[in-house]
Structure 1
Amino acid sequence: MTEHDDLNLFQRLIGHLSDVERRGVDAVGAALIDAAGGIDRIGDYKVMVAYGGGKDSTYVVAIVRAVQLRLQLDHGRTFTMRVANMRHAGVPTAVMENIDRVYAALRMLDDDRAELLTVDRTEIRRFRVDLPLPESVVTVNRLDVLMNGHRSAGDGRPTFCNSCNLAVADFYGRAGWWDGGVDAIMTGDSRREQALYAAWIRRLARATGVEPDRGGALDFSQLLTALRGIGDAYYRELFGDGDDAVLAERSVAVGNRTLQPRFVSIYDVVSYRVHDHWDLIVDFLGFRFDDLAFSFTESDCANPTLMAHLRGLRAELVDGRGYAAGIGEYLEFAEAMMRKKEMPDRLIDLALGRYDSPAKISERRTIAADYALRAFGLSESALAAIVFSPFTDQGKRLAAFLRRCHADHLGRLDRYHAALRAEPGTESEADWLAEVSGLPIELLRTLYHDALVDFSRRDTVMARVRSGDPHKQEVRTVDPRTGAPVVELISGR
């Protein structure tokens, strides 16, 4: 890009920023010059932004791009900007299309000062909007959803987010250390949020038997080392100790300890409420709140739609209260979360309006079921099995699952128990259980000897993680046995 191009883009970009945000751009630029050791060294400085493809991270990318252009125009030199986006099976195509539009609007696609990376677990490639998602990523995600779901009866956060959050930690390490590493990582989290998160990781690590450090603030490598220890304990609990390949595939990368990027927050110098910069995000950058990509509190992931779907299936199949009853409970939770995040009314109305009639609920059910099959390879039968969790606790709920979902197989209950105990002569039963659940028989047998997680206790890593997770809420529901009103704690996004 020429100096004229830079000036034109910068003027158009800051034209969408408030006076506070413009002063923030200057303040961040000054902080980066200081961190680099002076303006003469800024050209060798590399800054990373983790870009999920949602509205908030889009805003961070735009602000950092403004800082980059400001330094170039003022000093004739600037830092390299690495933007890395992590993908998993719950990321719809619309997210990549949003990212592509944002990059195009910010003139980053052909700018040598911008490194645009897509990280698919261990595979790091230059961003391309039509880059295919590796089948290996889908396979890992599917197994994780199934195993987490069966241990939690399909509760939203454990089922979809626990493994994903550990994968995010791995992503930060791989993206931050790739090809010589970066000097700084820009974040929209406040310093207080960062400190609370680090303190929570330290407590969780110690409760899990991991001692990440001898005190003091955790640096980048120590943070990831602690998360690696937590992840290793979590996956041993989930999959057992027998499969080293499964555990190694999910281990958080700890990278190069000699390269320790610092976190630089823009939180204190900008506005994070989406309605404060709607024109920037939507009009200038071309961000679209797609039907699947915008899912309750998320604008870069369709998994919350599946969380609501599982709640509906649980109410219908397990409790006998009807699919719409479960959806209503999830909407109560989701609205509380959206308001807590200060989302604008127009987005809250858009998210909730998709379910505001029986016909729309039926339509959303079809959309969710189709997406589960397309993205994760999960059939309605596999999702039904998740909400029953029929294999844990020595198959305690297997009879109820068969009675409700596969009544013609109830007469073979004893044979299915025998297959889960690996008794000889039960190969056909093992094959049927694997087909219905979506899990190989070896993992069904692992579940058979495990218990459904009791979230009222903290004797499992999964329960400890959920106890410290703020994304949960009490909702009003009904005891299916007595019909009496009760309050239940559920989690999700």
Structure 2
Amino acid sequence: MERIGEYKVLVAHGAGAGSSYVLALLRAAQLTLAGRAPRTFQLRVATLRHAGMSQNALDTLHRGYSALFMHDDARVELLMVENQEVLPFNHLRPASSAARDTSRRNMLMVGHLTSGDLRQTLCNDAYLALGDFYQRVTTCNGGVHALVSGDSARKQREYLAWLKKAALASGAEIPPRQPQVLSGLFARMDEWSNAYYCDLYGERYAVADKSDTDNHRHLAYIGAADLKDAAEYSSGPLLRQFMGYEPDEFGFHFSHASYANPLLMAHLRGLQAECLRELDYEEGAQGFMQQAALFMRRKQIPEHLIAQAATQDGRALAADYAQALFRLDESQLNCLMFSPFIRHGERLESFLRQCHPGMLVALPELHKALQGKPVAEMLVQWAIDTSGLPIDLLQHLYRKRPATGVPGMAETPQQGAPALAAYQLAGR
């Protein structure tokens, strides 16, 4: 106890209600100990800022920190990781243009190579960033001694099983022995992520330097899933009110991949119905909303947004969100859903016939452009504008034959989880 003032505990905060409960419990423990002893433990709170994190989510984080009097407490360190850089938390900091561009490109590449699989398109970029995120936030500024998580063991097993499957699909070697420490697990997660992106981009992908994330300290793990569940059951509404928590209608729920962002997913299903199935937008969006409505009510998404999701007003709202955070317009999202460039452009004619009939006459020239042959600059620019990707990546997609798809994270426990599943991760 005499050295507890040197002990630093990390909690990852994703702006959701669950991680808010865990943070409130940790802060209560820290302040209770401070009232009974000369010193108390230090607290590091870290957030992974992904491209889909809205200003509403950042404001929710800020209100929670303010309610817990964390901003001016020297015993508390508030961090944010964006574009593989650890930064002091600032809810007013504009999003990094480089980070937005990288996430947008990743989203488009994954979307095209999975033929518009919604879970992989929207979730993979954030899932694959976790290894790098944990390496950085556990080692920067002297590192931490313990990791606290409110995630259930089931969710952690599902994530690790998914990541292993993604690595296997990319051709990565899976070592027979599991890491013996958490820092080793985070390094392996990052290796598997790099293997995935190397397979996705080929020689165009450069692995980031990680020489500053070496960590030989043993990290303790503190599971708080049971405490989080108890707090939600007994004091959830009171805690949410105290911390100024407001549900973000376009917030991401990465631990529920099938409904990771239900309003945006409904929009994409509507576009998919229009451009691929020759149905009405409303029919496609409504079909998804019928599946997601119960989940959305559990997440306290306002009823009027649920009701209007399959209408033209809901379409406009979702389109504005996609443009603001991902810089993608409906034409580019339609192109992603159709995925016309893969397998030597086998769907290119169908895509033009359905979505751009005026370009059918240029089909042979578009094939030449995708093969790297000289064509009119106007055609190259049309392909870039329509897809949102540079011509060299379109040519890469044209040559690439996608491997067996990697499904999004399951919603139910998986059978035969790998040995790595025994390890526990901090909250996502």
The TM-score range, normalised by the shorter chain, is 0.7 to 0.9
Report the Cα offset of residue 421 of structure 1.
0.7
Amino acid of the residue matched to residue 214 of structure 1? Answer: R
Where do 1:230-269 residues align within 5 Å?
Answer: 230-240=192-202, 242-243=203-204, 246-249=205-208, 255-269=213-227
Q: CA RMSD in A?
A: 2.8
Distance 1:385 1:471, change over 3 A: farther
Amino acid of the residue matched to residue 399 of structure 1? Answer: E
Match of 1:373 in 2: 323
Q: Distance in 2 between matches of 1:115 and 1:92?
A: 22
Secondary structure at the aligned position of 1:53 is classed as coil
Deviations 1:328-359 (A, max 9, x none): 232233246x2xxxx8x5646x456524358x
| Runs (5+) with no aligned partner, structure 1 | 1-38, 454-458, 473-493
Where do 1:7-406 residues align within 5 Å?
Answer: 39-191=1-153, 193-194=155-156, 197-198=159-160, 201=163, 205=167, 208-212=171-175, 214-215=177-178, 218-240=180-202, 242-243=203-204, 246-249=205-208, 255-271=213-229, 274=232, 276-293=234-251, 303-335=261-293, 338=295, 345=297, 347=299, 350=301, 353-356=304-307, 361-406=311-356
Report the Cα offset of residue 275 of structure 1.
5.6
Amino acid of the residue matched to residue 149 of structure 1? Answer: G
| Runs (5+) with no aligned partner, structure 2 | 413-428
Q: Distance in 1 between matches of 2:343 and 2:303?
A: 37
Q: Distance in 2 between matches of 1:253 and 1:105?
A: 37
Where do 1:412-427 residues align within 5 Å?
Answer: 412-427=362-377
Greater Rg, structure 1 or structure 2? 1
Report the Cα offset of residue 306 of structure 1.
2.3
Q: Distance in 1 between matches of 2:37 and 2:175?
A: 41
Deviations 1:281-323 (A, max 9, x none): 332111112333377988xx98443222111100111101111
Q: Contact (CA 8 Å) 2:70, 2:76: kept in 1 or not?
A: yes
Q: Contact (CA 8 Å) 1:224, 1:252: kept in 2 or not?
A: no
Secondary structure at the aligned position of 1:117 is classed as strand
Report the Cα offset of residue 427 of structure 1.
3.1
Secondary structure at the aligned position of 2:286 is classed as helix
Report the Cα offset of residue 412 of structure 1.
0.6
Q: Percent same amino acid at aligned positions? A: 37
Amino acid of the residue matched to residue 442 of structure 1? Answer: D
Distance 1:197 1:384, change over 3 A: closer
Q: Distance in 1 between matches of 2:255 and 2:226?
A: 22
Distance 1:234 1:352, change over 3 A: farther
Distance 1:277 1:253, change over 3 A: farther
Deviations 1:114-158 (A, max 9, x none): 001111122222112201211110010110111011112222111
Q: Contact (CA 8 Å) 1:69, 1:78: kept in 2 or not?
A: yes
Q: Contact (CA 8 Å) 1:47, 1:185: kept in 2 or not?
A: yes
Q: Contact (CA 8 Å) 1:227, 1:252: kept in 2 or not?
A: no
Q: Distance in 2 between matches of 1:223 and 1:49?
A: 17
Amino acid of the residue matched to residue 38 of structure 2? Answer: G
Which of 407, 410, 414 does residue 470 from structure 1 map onto? 410
Q: Contact (CA 8 Å) 1:144, 1:163: kept in 2 or not?
A: yes
Query: Looking at both structures, which has the greater relative contact order when contacts are Cα pairs under 8 Å and sequence separation is at least 6?
Result: 2
Q: Distance in 2 between matches of 1:335 and 1:233?
A: 36
Q: Distance in 1 between matches of 2:302 and 2:353?
A: 35
Q: Distance in 2 between matches of 1:193 and 1:84?
A: 20
Match of 1:20 in 2: none
Distance 1:108 1:213, change over 3 A: farther
Distance 1:372 1:201, change over 3 A: closer
Q: Distance in 2 between matches of 1:435 and 1:204?
A: 30
Amino acid of the residue matched to residue 193 of structure 2? Answer: G
Which of 432, 445, 458 does residue 395 from structure 2 map onto? 445
Distance 1:206 1:401, change over 3 A: closer
Secondary structure at the aligned position of 2:221 is classed as strand
Match of 1:410 in 2: 360
Secondary structure at the aligned position of 1:315 is classed as helix
Q: Contact (CA 8 Å) 1:224, 1:253: kept in 2 or not?
A: no
Distance 1:260 1:169, change over 3 A: same
Q: Distance in 1 between matches of 2:375 and 2:163?
A: 47
